[in-house]
Chains A and B, each alone.
Chain A
Amino acid sequence: MRTVAVVGASLAGLRAVEELRSQGFDGRITVIGDEPYQPYDRPPLSKGYLAGTRTPESLRLADQSDTDDLAAEWRLGVRADSLDPLTRSIRLSDGEEITADGVVIATGGRARPLPGSEGLSGVHTVRTLDDAAALSADLENSSTGVVVIGAGWIGSEVASTCHALGRPVTVVEASPTPLARVLGPDMGSVCAALHTDHGVALRTGVGVRSLTSSGFGPWKRVTGVDLADGTHLPADVVVVGIGMLPNTEWLAGSGIPVQDGVLCDAGCVTAFPSVVAVGDVARYHGPGGPVRHEHWTNASEQPVTAVRNLLAGTTIEEYRPSGYFWSDQYGTRLQVAGHPADADEVAVVDGSPNDRRFVAEYRRRGATVGVLAMNNPKLFGRLRRQLRDRAAV
């Protein structure tokens, strides 16, 4: 293998390049990224960047000397439009075609849009630096208030940041308990209570009927949110955090199997041994079937395995995710490791949810499968290790 093309220039793409080099690949690497920026860290977009405490420069994942050391060719601000996995040629949005011996798909995803919000100013998602910059600018001029649709991780973090910026915030969540699908109803309620602890209104179990607006054409601007129960919430800024969609459209017709992500084997290899997938877009074969993770740690860890298998030309290593992610909201640090599920038994092993400082274990058939910590990184670190060491046995 003498040339590798990495499609996607965010964390997973950058980590793939780093892994290629650290695993001894000294051939040519071309990185294609549709955003015009060098790889940057997305988690601070909803927190420090939006709060104004982090500059865009500080988000860079690799400084100039690290980037130079990687000796990759960066094609930024262009999109990959198609891939032929047999010839491994990639057509770019500027008309150029790049051919490589190996391909790493790291195209990530995009924020799921709220139907009916197209072309309406004041409505935001937070996925990219440009998204966050636009939201930040809009918040400066906001007077009526902010409605956040979706009380998942991003929505909750944005609500927390807007609150810290002094904006009145209401969070709307369609399910009865936020985060219940991931953490179960009890722990979901505890996390959701962070909003109300800080005086942020939380409306659960109610869907959004429509957005209201005034103006016409380019001046059309959101004025509020109509809920399914008839309530109207006035807002001049609406943030939509209802999940993401994997960026796979460019692979349509390529022959690479795609279904809610790029389908891969247990080692992140697609149906073609010279094409691997990593990060939010990769739906690999886990112990319980095909699974996709949308977390920073996954995007950081997966390239190690995927690159090893790409360079080997076959799957010699299976991916073992740590399942670690974190969220910072209202000055509270939440950390999750392992693979908790709604149906697990939950046991608080330290502290108390009422004090907003505790550690809980998720158990399935007697075995600990996940850990959740609120404001206790130290004990979390220990239990996370135990979980990892047990999984390795």
Chain B
Amino acid sequence: MIPACAVADLPEGEAVRIPGEVPIAVFNVDGEIYAIDDTCSHQDASLSEGWLEGCLIECPLHAASFDLRTGMPTGAPAKKPVRTHSVVIQDGVIYVVPQNQEAVV
């Protein structure tokens, strides 16, 4: 489990990025916490800096859009999904359990 941040530090509609070899982005959508790979499957851009609309995150570079619940792209230019990760909240802290498999195509 990787600690992301305190629940209090991630207001609704915001995102936080966990740096690392494979960075992870954590989002708060109306109180629900989601974690996905931070790097867009299309090209090098950080999804945590993207535009959040409902459960969709739009890449800040080319407007590729992903569903936070499934990691699936909603259309061009991204073709491949991003991985989703489980989230655990303990004592007011958000933890991410990284999923090691490749994203399911």
Query: Which A residues are closer than 8 A to B by beta carbons?
Result: 15, 18, 41, 44, 48, 61-63, 66, 296-297, 300, 326, 333, 335, 377-378, 380-382, 385
B38 nearest CB across to chain A (Å): 12
User: In the bound complex, do residue B60 and residue A381 qualify as a contact, i.e. CB atoms below 8 Å apart?
Assistant: yes
B43 interface residue per 8 A CB criterion = yes
Query: Which B residues are closer than 8 A to A by beta carbons?
Result: 43-46, 49-51, 58, 60-62, 76-77, 79
User: In the bound complex, do residue B77 and residue A377 qualify as a contact, i.e. CB atoms below 8 Å apart?
Assistant: no
User: In the bound complex, do residue A63 and residue B79 qualify as a contact, i.e. CB atoms below 8 Å apart?
Assistant: yes
User: In the bound complex, do residue A377 and residue B49 qualify as a contact, i.e. CB atoms below 8 Å apart?
Assistant: yes
CB nearest to B58 among chain A residues: A381
Q: List 20 A-B contacts (CB under 8 A).
A: A18-B76, A48-B44, A62-B79, A66-B79, A296-B62, A297-B62, A300-B77, A326-B61, A333-B61, A335-B60, A377-B46, A377-B49, A377-B50, A377-B60, A378-B49, A378-B50, A380-B60, A381-B58, A381-B60, A382-B51
User: In the bound complex, do residue B50 and residue A381 qualify as a contact, i.e. CB atoms below 8 Å apart?
Assistant: yes
CB nearest to B48 among chain A residues: A378
Q: How far is the CA of A62 from the CA of B44 in the complex (A)?
A: 17
**9 closest cross-chain pairs (CB), A and B:** A377-B60, A377-B49, A378-B49, A381-B51, A381-B60, A326-B61, A63-B79, A66-B79, A381-B50
CB nearest to A58 among chain B residues: B43
Residues from chain A with a CB closer than 8 A to the CB of B45 are: 377
A123 nearest CB across to chain B (Å): 29
Q: How far is the CA of A18 from the CA of B60 in the complex (A)?
A: 23
Q: Which residue in A44, A62, A296, A381 is a CB contact (below 8 Å) of B49?
A: A381
Residues from chain A with a CB closer than 8 A to the CB of B76 are: 15, 18, 300
Q: How far is the CA of A18 from the CA of B76 in the complex (A)?
A: 10
Q: How far is the CA of A281 from the CA of B67 in the complex (A)?
A: 35
A343 nearest CB across to chain B (Å): 28
User: In the bound complex, do residue B79 and residue A385 qualify as a contact, i.e. CB atoms below 8 Å apart?
Assistant: no
Main secondary structure of the interface of B (DSSP, over half): loop
B41 nearest CB across to chain A (Å): 11
User: In the bound complex, do residue B79 and residue A377 qualify as a contact, i.e. CB atoms below 8 Å apart?
Assistant: no
Residues from chain A with a CB closer than 8 A to the CB of B46 are: 377
Residues from chain B with a CB closer than 8 A to the CB of A300 are: 76-77
CB nearest to B14 among chain A residues: A378
Residues from chain B with a CB closer than 8 A to the CB of A333 are: 61
Q: How far is the CA of A296 from the CA of B43 in the complex (A)?
A: 14
Q: How far is the CA of A140 from the CA of B79 in the complex (A)?
A: 33
Q: How far is the CA of A300 from the CA of B77 in the complex (A)?
A: 9
CB nearest to B46 among chain A residues: A377
CB nearest to A326 among chain B residues: B61
A331 nearest CB across to chain B (Å): 11
Residues from chain B with a CB closer than 8 A to the CB of A66 are: 79
A201 nearest CB across to chain B (Å): 28
Residues from chain A with a CB closer than 8 A to the CB of B61 are: 326, 333, 377
CB nearest to A61 among chain B residues: B77
Residues from chain B with a CB closer than 8 A to the CB of A382 are: 51
A197 nearest CB across to chain B (Å): 21
Q: How far is the CA of A194 from the CA of B79 in the complex (A)?
A: 33
CB nearest to A296 among chain B residues: B62
From A18, A333, A377, name the one whose CB has the most chain B CB atoms within 10 angstroms: A377
CB nearest to A60 among chain B residues: B79
From A66, A380, A381, name the one whose CB has the most chain B CB atoms within 10 angstroms: A381
Q: How far is the CA of A15 from the CA of B75 in the complex (A)?
A: 12
Q: How far is the CA of A14 from the CA of B77 in the complex (A)?
A: 12
Residues from chain B with a CB closer than 8 A to the CB of A326 are: 61
Residues from chain A with a CB closer than 8 A to the CB of B51 are: 381-382, 385
Q: How far is the CA of A385 from the CA of B52 in the complex (A)?
A: 12
Residues from chain A with a CB closer than 8 A to the CB of B60 are: 335, 377-378, 380-381
Q: How far is the CA of A44 from the CA of B42 in the complex (A)?
A: 12
User: In the bound complex, do residue A44 and residue B43 qualify as a contact, i.e. CB atoms below 8 Å apart?
Assistant: yes
Residues from chain A with a CB closer than 8 A to the CB of B62 are: 296-297
Q: How far is the CA of A320 from the CA of B75 in the complex (A)?
A: 20
